[in-house]
Amino acid sequence: MEQNELIEKITKEVMARLSEKKVNTPNSGQQSSMSAEELAGYIDHTLLKPEAVESQFDKLCDEAVKYKFKSVCVNSGWVPYVAKKLRGTGVLVCSVIGFPLGEMDSRSKAFEARTAISNGANELDMVINVGALKSRNLKLVEEDIRAIKRACRSNTILKVIIETSLLTEDEKVLACEISKKADADFVKTSTGFMGGGATVEDIALMRRIVGPKIGVKASGGIKDFNQAVAMIRAGANRIGSGSSVAVITGGTAQGY
C-alpha cells in the first residue's frame, strides 16, 4: 500500500472512531467549583513577546512564585535568567523550541533544546514542522519530534505544539498520532502567534486521540477563569497563558 493511501486509511479509521462518541463541550457560562489556587497549578505563566525586557521577566517570575503557577514559559534565550530567579522556588522553567514557526532544521531544534536544558529548562514546548505535516511527509515530522526527544534528559517534559489553527481535522489527528508515536509527553494546541487558539472542541479531540497517558496543553487566547476551566473539563491538564494573573483573579487580560 502506498504511503498516501495508508495515511488516508488511518485517518478515516481514527475519525470514524471519534465520530462514534459525541464531544462533550462545556458550557462557557457554567461556574466551576475549582479554586483559583487549584487552577494556578495547571498554568504555564508565559512571556514570549520578542520586545519583552528584563523588568517584565522579573515580574513574570515574581507572579509565578506568588500565585504558585506550574511553570514560567519563555524563549530559550531567557532561560538562564529566569532559571536563576526561580531556583529553589518550586516553579518549573519551560522553554519553547523552534518557536514560533517550527520550520528550521531538526538539528538546530535539537541544539536549542540541549542548550535550554543545560541552562535550566525543565520542560520544552517544541513546534512541529507544519509544512511537512501538510505535505504528508510524516516521516520528517516524526523524526523532527524524536530529535528533540533524544536531546531531552530522562526527567525533561516534552510538549509538541501542533498549531491547530493551521490544520484540518484529519491533520490534527495525524499530528497527535505522530506525537504519541514519537514518545512526546504532551500535545499542545498553539503558539498563540498564528491566529486562532485553543478551543474546547480541539482539546476534546486531542484528548480522545492521545488517550489518558499523554498530557494535553491548551494554549492560545485563554484569558479568563471559566475559559481555562472549560479547557480542563474538555481534557486539558495544562494551560498556557500570557494572561495568567487575570485568569485566576478576574482582572483585565493582557498578553496572548
188 is known as an active-site residue: yes
Q: Which CA distances in Å does 207 have to 7, 9, 70, 224? A: 20, 21, 20, 22
CA–CA distance, 180 with 175 (Å, rounded to integer): 9
Catalytic residue among 85, 109, 125, 223: 125
Say which of 149, 188, 202, 223 is annotated catalytic. Answer: 188
Torsion of CA 229, 230, 236, 238, to 10 degrees: -30
Q: What is the DSSP letter of 72?
A: E
Catalytic hit among 70, 85, 172, 217: 217
- Report how far residue 14's alpha carbon sits from residue 175's, in angstroms, rounded to the nearest whole number: 12
68 assigned to active site: no
CB 94 within 8 A of CB 81: no
- Known catalytic residue at 125: yes
Catalytic positions, written as ranges: 125, 188, 217
